[in-house]
Each structure stands twice: as structure tokens, then as C-alpha cells.
């Protein structure tokens, strides 16, 4: 039996990506992406619900994200969801969920709602032979 772990998001960056490098020099970018769902409640009032997603982009995709993505820009992200445990500064073990990006498309060059209609700034995907297998030895800088 096959299983599927695939996430597709379109949202706006909450801040510029943080580009870092692991001990062996592998680039990794992290950033927060906001997606908003709009509904009408039973009395007809519009209600917005925003979810924040932590995105992790490795290698070339991480470098491209760190160089070209900026706060407020609309972006398409494709990847998989992954959980990770870590120990907080207070010594308490915690679990977090991240989206490990495998593809990214910039949908706007600016941060305003009118910017989405402009020509996309570019497209970035990992190499065809890229397979991200994260093991316990990955040194993810925080």
C-alpha cells in the first residue's frame, strides 16, 4: 500500500526568510507563511481565519528562497508535512510541525493585494534527482 504526504499552500510571508547553513555547509531557509480562509457565519458576517505554517526549504531551494522571498509576498509552496521534537530553552521537550518545501513559485513581487496580478517573479524547483531524506543527523540551525 502506498501513502501520500503532500501539502500545497498559497499564502503570504510573515517575515523575510532566515537562511542558514548546517555544519557541513548545506543551505536551509525557514520562514512563516500565512494562509487565510474566509467564511460567513450563520448571521452572514464575514469571518477570516488565518493559519501560520512553518516552512523549511533545503539546498538550492533554500538559497533561492533566502535570496528572493520577502515579507508580504504571495507564494505557492508544495511539500510534505513533517514533525520534529526539540528541547526548548526551558528544558521542556516540544513537538513542532513543519512543511518541508519541494517546490516554490513566487506569485507576486510586492506585498499588496494588487501585486498578485503582476507577472510572476520566477519559479524554483529542486533538481529532478533531488530526494530529501531527513535523518536524525541533520543539523537544523534554529
The answer for residues whose C-beta is within 8 angstroms of residue 6's C-beta and 6 or more apart is 78, 79, 80
Q: DSSP class of residue 12? A: E
Burial class of residue 129 (count of CB atoms within 10 Å of its CB; 0-12, 13-18, 19+): exposed
| The model's pTM | 0.72
CA–CA separation, 32 and 18 (whole Å): 10
Q: Collect the ranges in the chain with pLDDT lower than 50.
A: 115-139, 141-142
pLDDT at 18: 96
pLDDT at 44: 87
pLDDT at 1: 83
CA–CA separation, 5 and 102 (whole Å): 12
The answer for residues whose C-beta is within 8 angstroms of residue 31's C-beta and 6 or more apart is 13, 14, 15, 16, 17, 18, 54, 55, 57, 65, 69
DSSP element (H, E) containing 77: strand 74-87
Residue 1 grid coordinates: 500500500
The answer for residues whose C-beta is within 8 angstroms of residue 136's C-beta and 6 or more apart is none
pLDDT at 125: 41
Q: Taking the CA atoms of the chain, what radius of gyration do you get in angstroms?
A: 17
Amino acid at each position: 500500500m502506498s501513502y501520500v504526504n503532500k501539502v500545497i499552500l498559497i499564502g503570504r510571508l510573515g517575515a523575510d526568510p532566515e537562511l542558514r547553513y548546517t555544519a557541513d555547509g548545506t543551505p536551509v531557509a525557514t520562514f512563516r507563511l500565512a494562509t487565510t480562509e474566509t467564511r460567513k457565519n450563520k448571521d452572514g458576517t464575514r469571518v477570516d481565519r488565518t493559519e501560520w505554517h512553518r516552512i523549511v526549504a533545503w539546498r538550492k531551494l533554500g538559497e533561492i528562497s533566502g535570496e528572493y522571498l520577502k515579507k508580504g509576498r504571495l507564494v505557492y509552496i508544495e511539500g510534505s508535512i513533517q514533525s520534529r521534537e526539540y528541547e526548548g530553552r526551558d528544558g521542556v521537550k516540544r513537538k513542532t510541525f513543519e512543511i518541508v518545501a519541494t517546490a516554490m513559485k513566487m506569485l507576486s513581487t510586492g506585498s499588496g493585494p494588487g501585486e498578485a496580478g503582476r507577472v510572476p517573479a520566477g519559479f524554483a524547483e529542486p533538481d529532478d534527482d533531488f530526494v530529501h531524506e531527513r535523518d536524525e543527523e541533520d543539523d537544523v540551525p534554529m
